[in-house]
Structure 1
């Protein structure tokens, strides 16, 4: 029997509580513009800034979702499990590598939304507890998102601010990213993986239900990654690859296409969040953030920016924390801005709402019947967040 472990083919139509919160956030932002709390000129400038980001987000999520429906992630995950030959330690290294590469090249929300159910299903096929694999996806979804602009929305914002090309950005963040993955891998092993049985029974090979669309999706993902590496526009290459894959599905597997592919929830959330943060920033938040972060371009300023971004992310959410912090950092303080970026990328591990990726991951775990022990989650994530933040900031300062 062929079982599709990717995204649900027939998602529920009813809006969840989180959906209403996203819509409410956008409504609050639009209301702020309507009553003058956020001047129309500023709102328009914000819209012009985020429009290319929204296009990219929409395209890359469609690309990733179709890749999941073509069962690309299922095939890779099961083959990694077989490749480990029943050894828990080898499977651990391969799972870390898989989650890291997915986050780096296909965005952290891809890892949280699409990879989580695949990894859970793979763990069950191998007779393993699903929590270690689930924790691997959520921690690396957040912490493996430093290297490329496509990995995280905050990276796109920072890259534009410091005026770095994608490969220049990657060179600047390579050492911090390596430090983050090493620290998180060590934490995952100590807190979750080392208690697994040393051996497991490898599952049977997984074959996609439609080989043609599987090959088309694999090719689209490969072209997308290659386009990033050679320096093509991330906006253009994501749109072209997504559109090409949509055409392939239209021809070979039309039944898998639906309007649910359009990530309207994420687009509504991002738009509303930017409007609300801009409004709050004009009415006191910027002064408060300026006091916490300061304007020192040196080590002290970098540390303060990273610590403030990380703490505020766990209190509120990492996206408004980054936007609010970015607004008060002088444009010439590139390293301080990257410190803020690191804080808002790797530290939002502790609370479930610290990042959108964690919220989406929790929903997928619940849908897959995996119970998350939240006290243990918070305790282990707090330790990991502190250590990984210190390691990545130190790596940034010496890079």
Structure 2
């Protein structure tokens, strides 16, 4: 193992640890940027490799920044307060029923709008709902994080890892969705069962009174609906969905500008200032993502990918698929699921079933730990400090439930492979 490879692995570990702990409340970029610079200085990553990584991740990070800003603007327009009141009313104040609603809502949003939308848009709805009902929010908040990962199995557009796997698999959109429908349903159901069991005490209370539904912020809801439609349309015509998110940001930002204060679109929150809108895009977190990509690209180019080839099981039998999925899950929790996907897919290209097994591992595996996926890190970061779970609590639940989830869903994938002729 070369010195450059060791340095790269250590720098990745430092970045991920800083993202989880966030010492002194500092942005992840405070650690990630110097680590990326040190990697270039020491040769752990080369300038050409770093440039290629930034170009490759650029569209993804642009979408991430736009969707984060869009979520912040939706919150300022009262969208989450309204949707929270609707959800609270539909649950009749029963936490068990609310958990079912949250899991179903998050699964649909994740499948159609990407897991980032669930983390950014659905989580605030859930927190607002729990506050309005005066019930514990832990099971419902956890559902957003877990379903953001588990619910992203269904469609090629649900997750960046899916887009990469879709390209590598050679499957059509319809065959991809058909192959992942049963695994997706099973993953969401098992996650619900795990949360139902783990938080059974939090789910015993009942709200004394269900608050009425708030007045709808019609303009903001219309912009939200059009933005969602824009995600679908831009993907269909080959444009980056970041353009749709950016258009939504502009439409929501205009009524917030100081010149329009007190007139135009009604609002339930104080208007945002321009600096607040910029900070809503979380530039520090976006910089962290780019720096992590630079570090991982360097590690892959220094021999890790060649070493991984010896760990890939041969064949597409059940044992081989389980080995692939578990390997992907373990690596995702060690170095994050995006770099794991980039490292493993070239090693299984040519076998659609093996590609989908890797996808099961990189999408479900991150439920075990915070560093497993950017969505989980983003979920934790977006929670108000009082609502952030302790790392021990989060990891205990994830490490117990995730291996069962990965293995069971992989078996489901193996079962549907025969009828769909994926082998």
Q: TM-score, normalised by structure 2?
A: 0.78
**Alignment correspondent of 1:343:** 361
- In the other structure, the counterpart of 2:30 is 20
**Cα offset for 1:15?**
7.7
Specify which of 404, 417, 423 is matched with residue 387 of structure 1. 404
- Tell me, in whole angstroms, the C-alpha distance in 2 between the residues paired with 1:163 and 1:274: 25
Quick check: 1:333 aligned with 2:339? no
Q: Look up the SS of the partner of 2:212 in the other structure.
A: coil
Gaps of 5+ in 2: 1-23, 258-270, 417-423
Counterpart-to-counterpart distance in 2, 1:84 and 1:273: 41
Query: Which residue of structure 2 aligns with residue 191 of structure 1?
Result: 198
After superposition, the C-alpha distances for 1:44-71 in whole angstroms (9 at most, x for unaligned) are 5545543443444444444444434433
The equivalent residue for 2:248 is 245
- The CA distance in 2 between the partners of 1:241 and 1:333, in whole Å, is 34
Moved over 6 A (4+): none
Q: Which runs of 5+ in 1 are unaligned?
A: 1-13
User: Aligned residue for 2:115?
Assistant: 108
**1:364-375 superposed matches below 5 A:** 364-365=382-383, 367-370=384-387, 372-375=389-392
Residue 354 of structure 1: aligned partner: 372
**Structure 1 residues 31 and 382: CA distance shift in structure 2, 3 A:** same
Could you say which residue in structure 2 is the equivalent of 1:232? 236
Provide the C-alpha distance between the structure 2 equivalents of 1:167 and 1:60, rounded to a whole number of angstroms.
27
Root-mean-square deviation over aligned CA pairs: 2.9
Instruction: Give the 3-state SS of the residue equivalent to 1:151 in structure 2.
Output: coil
1:320, 1:343 → 2: CA distance? 13
Contact 1:29 1:272 (C-alpha < 8 Å) held by counterparts: no
Tell me the residue number matched to 2:211.
203
2:385, 2:44 → 1: CA distance? 45
**Structure 1 residue 214 corresponds to structure 2 residue 221:** yes
1:1-399 equivalences under 5 Å are 16-28=26-38, 30-31=40-41, 35=43, 37-38=45-46, 40=48, 42-43=49-50, 45-164=52-171, 166-193=173-200, 195-197=202-204, 199-200=206-207, 201-207=209-215, 211-221=218-228, 223-224=229-230, 226-227=232-233, 232-233=236-237, 235-236=239-240, 238-254=241-257, 255-256=271-272, 258-327=277-346, 329-365=347-383, 367-370=384-387, 372-399=389-416
Cα distance, 1:74 vs structure 2: 3.1
8 Å CA contact retained: 2:186, 2:409: yes
CA distance in 2 between partners of 1:157 and 1:127 (Å): 42
Kept after mapping to 2: 8 A contact 1:111/1:137: yes
